[in-house]
Amino acid sequence: GPPFPVFTRQEVAHHDNEANRVWVTYGTNVFDITDFVELHPGGKSKILLAAGGALEPFWALYAMHNQEHVLEILHGYKIGEL
């Protein structure tokens, strides 16, 4: 398929709330998780803590995310790369 668009961390940081849409990074991948916020098994308030930035610091604390099925959900929301 075509290459993904490339974004800066500054652009990602702008997308830190539902009005601007909610973006996060994982590694060098960028995701628009707005449509997943209400579906998150850990609740909306928790997932929004990562809005506009990297998932890694949060997933280091909540290690249940380090599973194949969680990464599959995440990758369904990929929109770009850093």
Minimum Å distance from CB 57 to ligand HEM? 9
Task: Kindly give, in sequence order, each residue whose CB lies less than 8 Å from that of residue 33, ignoring residues fewer than 6 positions away.
Answer: 22, 23, 24, 47, 74, 77
Rank residues 5 and 42 by Cβ distance to ligand HEM and give the closer one: 42
Minimum Å distance from CB 56 to ligand HEM? 10
Binding residues for ligand HEM, rule: CB under 6 A, are 24, 33, 36, 40-42, 46-47, 49-50, 55, 58, 62, 64-65, 67, 70, 73-74
81 within 8 A of 28, measured Cβ to Cβ: yes
Q: Which residue is nearest to ligand HEM (CB)?
A: 42
Rank residues 2 and 68 by Cβ distance to ligand HEM and give the closer one: 68
Measured distance CA(40)–CA(11) in Å, rounded: 24
